[in-house]
Structure 1
Amino acid sequence: MLYKEMQDMKEGAAFSRRFAKQQLLTTMAIVLSATLVFILTGVVAPGIDALGLAIAAATGFTIGVWCQPNVYRRQNGSLTLAIVLIAGMWAVPVIVILVSFFG
């Protein structure tokens, strides 16, 4: 009985470590990609206000869904809502770019 409990505790601790590592890596990927895109957008298109923030937010969310899709799944296993949110977030900077070029 004691051996089984110790084994369960070891497995639980290992699971917690893997989960924490995965969360850390995902967070780093989101922050680094959003920061890189924000800086790059500021260099490439410095005159368009708030474009960097819109693209950084869309990039961060996209990377988050790509790294951990199970977090964003609905109860039936669908990623439809996450994909619609990603499309909406990317639509904002695209509209801003189109308006700045043609408007």
Structure 2
Amino acid sequence: MEEFPSDITVGRAPRTAIGQTKDGHILLVVVDGRQEHSIGMTLLELALLMQEFGAVDAMNLDGGGSSEMVIKGKIINKPSDGRERYVGDALIIAPKD
């Protein structure tokens, strides 16, 4: 079993999650945090939000300054670093050719 420090498990932070509804729709969620306009969410709050959106399965992804969502080349949230952060991986969803 993995153990995380309390600032990750119960602290408020920017969060990113993916989930699936009962009818197979995919949910992608990013929550800003550590900013004046958004204080972020705890993991429990994120889980409850995903349930509210209808998720029957969901997974918390990387958070903090790595929480960023880009649609058609445009950042749609406000990353807590104030700019894009270099990351080693990403979840990319693209149309089938």
TM-score normalized with structure 2 length = 0.25
Q: TM-score, normalised by structure 1?
A: 0.24
Higher-Rg member (1/2): 1
The structure showing larger relative contact order (alpha-carbon pairs under 8 Å, at least 6 residues apart) is: 2
Q: Which has the higher helix share?
A: 1
Counting strand residues as a fraction of each chain, which structure ranks higher? 2
